[in-house]
Each structure stands twice: as structure tokens, then as C-alpha cells.
Structure 1
């Protein structure tokens, strides 16, 4: 089986761990060289310590496929407070022209997680 795992920048690994732990991610290991591995179910995210990353201009991003983007939004929205200083926020789901129901999360290092499920998977339309 083949799969890819993003390596995203983190301005502060402790801050990154706390942000994602609130969303149900667990630390799967710190490699000892300013690196963090997080997991939630089958989703894996890797973070490299980059203290100079500007969260308002970071290009870090990945796409996460889930069963139900609407349910995940309902669970995560109360846990993420918008922070204008970092751009951190959660964006409600919308239906796309390419048949997906998508939401977004931006973490405190400016990484964008676009999260989607197929419209025919029971998501609101």
C-alpha cells in the first residue's frame, strides 16, 4: 500500500501538539530533531520545527479525506477559537462543484488543512 504524509512547518512544536491534541490527535513520536508526528485514526501529520515561519503567509497545507466533513466540523468548531494574529480558524463546510463537502482548519502556524468527504456520503448539501 502506498500513501503520502505531509511535513508541515511548526513555529512551536508544543503549541502545535496542544492545538491538534484538542482535536483528538495523539503524539506518535518526536524524532528528537525538532520533529513531531501526530495521528488521529488513519490520518498522520508530520511537523518540522521552523520557528521563523510566518503563520499569515505560510504555504503549508494538505487535504484530508474523512467520512463526514459536517460531523467533524460540528465536533471541532467549538474547540478552535479564531486568532487574527495567526490566522488560526475553522471554516464551515461547503459543497463544491467537484462533488465534495469541504471544511477547512488553519492551525497557529498557518497550515491549512482542507478536509472533505464525498457529497454522496451523507454530508449536507
Structure 2
């Protein structure tokens, strides 16, 4: 039986990664500098990072989709953070997409894409 999945994403700098995700209310639960591994958690979501100092954030193709209870509420909670809306890192507010999902977008300092959303009820 499958229970969950944790994306493993590149990080050029664990301190910068941890600080960025702290803004999003993720907390650092484990760091293994010698092994090059970092684990961040918020609620029931874990995001793992591997150390990759040469990673090119502009060319990143890494990402994950995180199912959330209410993407609009989450998006509004990120509003006061004044995150950029262009470049890297960036934030795009939640909106209903043609594929039936209300989702927001976060791109972290390493260019990793996180889409966070919920299925829109069709009534």
C-alpha cells in the first residue's frame, strides 16, 4: 500500500533553501550536511533536498504538485509575504485552471516548481 510521496529537489545552498521555505511555514526537521541532504515539513507534506551547488536555477526542470485543502486560502496566506511575481523565486496566486484544479505556483530560489492545488467541484 502506498501512503505518500516526498519530492527530492536540488538545492544550491541549504541555508537559503531553508530560509525561503520557512517563509512558507515549512520547518527544517533534518539536515545532513556531510551527506548533502535536507528535509523540510509543513503539515503532512515533506520536501527533501539534495545538495547540488552547481545547479542552474534558470534551467531547472524539477517540481512537484502538492494537494491542498484550499488553494485560494493558502494563496491569500502567502500574499503578505510580498513574493516576486516574475523571475526566480516567484509566486503566482491561485486560480481555477481549465483542467479542473484551483492551483497556485511557487518557484523557489533554485528554480524548483511547486504547484499547490485542489480539485474544483463542478456543480
**Could you tell me the TM-score, scaled by structure 2's length?**
0.89
* Structure 1 unmatched runs, 5+: none
In the TM superposition, 1:18-29 aligns within 5 A as: 18-29=19-30
How many residues align? The count is: 120
User: What stretches of structure 2 of length at least 5 have no aligned partner?
Assistant: none
Q: 1:1-29 CA distances to partner (integer Å, 9 max, x unpaired)?
A: 52221100011110000000111111110
- Stretches of 4+ aligned residues off by more than 6 angstroms: none
**Aligned-partner SS, 1:67:** coil
TM-score, normalised to structure 1's length? 0.88
SS at match of 1:53: coil
Q: Which residue of 2 aligns with 1:113?
A: 114
Contact in 2 for aligned 1:80/1:89 (Cα 8 Å): no
Equivalent residue for 2:76, pick from 43, 59, 74: 74
Partner of 1:36: 38
- 8 Å CA contact 1:7, 1:48 repeated in 2: yes
